[in-house]
Amino acid sequence: MSESHVEKQVRLVLEKQCADVGRIIADALPAGVGFAFLAFDFGARGNIAYFSNANREDMIRALEELLARWKAGG
């Protein structure tokens, strides 16, 4: 099923807002500290936006480590 015009606009607004917040976070952190910011709709809409100052491979590794800790109860 393709995305409607309204759904696309909602997603694009969320992506812009996520990037705006992400830039504020990046400016507030010291150099050398990586981060990711996720914003998503509650419920079934399925929109999610992501902003990070790290390259994709490093962020995937960090998220996998975090998930492993959570699953282990840590």
* Higher pLDDT among residues 44 and 9, named by residue: 9
DSSP notation for 18-66:
HHHHHHHHHHHSPTT---EEEEE-SSSS--EEEEESS-HHHHHHHHHHH
> What is the arithmetic mean of pLDDT over 32-42?
91
pLDDT number for residue 5: 85
41 within 8 A of 47, measured Cβ to Cβ? yes
Residue at token pair 């976070």: 25
